[in-house]
Structure 1
Amino acid sequence: MKDLQRTICEKYNSKFYGIDMNLKVGIAIQTLHLKPIHAVRVKPENGTNGWYIHCGEYSDDNDFYKPLCALHLDKYCPEIIKYLALEPEFNVITDREGYEDVWRTE
């Protein structure tokens, strides 16, 4: 998987930032049946790797995102794993049919 992550980083002009899969992502598990998949990486802090993932529409509810150890993403959202080495400030929108939009927020 690291080779694919390196390829994604090169494609989008990101340093290979890497990810500690033992740290947590914020994920809106209740939305995973929706489309598309949205992911944003912020600066890692407080035991997280900086990724926040949801599907469909975003909600600003306080309990929208739940912590999940990144090791479990293969079960809940495997489509996002190839993007996890992107640097903070990267955004991803993808679906399960091949659509992909990746950009940096500055």
Structure 2
Amino acid sequence: MQEFIEEQKLLCEEFDSAYIKVNADDEVAIAVQTLDREPIVGIRKKVEAGSKVAWYIYGGELDEGEENLFEIVTITQLLEIFPDVMPYLALEEGFRFMIDQDDYEDVWKADS
């Protein structure tokens, strides 16, 4: 985790976001079965009551019914499953990112 802090801070600064510290036991929802699709998409939403999940991460376009593919994992588990998204996880609520294997990167704050 420590190795990503500086990169996270720089990314937050680059995209005009507050830095939100990421803890090893924070939880994200990830659709692991879709990670072979591109692009990889991450969305930071407001944490709902009774939940600790702020990030939703998936690959490609989700088809109807695929919302059920999400499983909850800790940041420590995410580091093992898909470390490429680690630099983005300190972005504040409302941010989204899109990346692919060809070094494409798009980061923005959604209007909502």
With structure 2 as the length reference, what TM-score do the two structures score? 0.86
Q: For 1:19, which of 16, 19, 22 is the aligned residue? A: 22
Q: How many residues are treated as equivalent by the alignment?
A: 106
SS at match of 1:74: helix
Give the residue type in structure 1 aligned to 2:88: Y
Structure 1 runs of 4+ aligned residues shifted over 6 Å read none
* 1:20/1:49 contact within 8 Å kept: no
The residue that corresponds to 1:43 in the other structure is 46
With structure 1 as the length reference, what TM-score do the two structures score? 0.90
The residue that corresponds to 2:56 in the other structure is 52
Structure (1 or 2) with the greater helix fraction: 2
| Ranges in structure 2 where 5+ consecutive residues have no aligned partner | none
* 1:39/1:92 contact within 8 Å kept: yes
| Ranges in structure 1 where 5+ consecutive residues have no aligned partner | none
For residues 55 and 20 of structure 1, the distance between their equivalents in structure 2, rounded to whole angstroms, comes to 24
Q: Who wins on radius of gyration, i.e. which is larger?
A: 2
Is residue 90 from structure 1 mapped to residue 95 from structure 2 by the alignment?
yes
Instruction: Calculate the aligned-residue CA RMSD, in Å.
Output: 1.5
For residues 68 and 30 of structure 2, the distance between their equivalents in structure 1, rounded to whole angstroms, comes to 10
The residue that corresponds to 1:105 in the other structure is 110
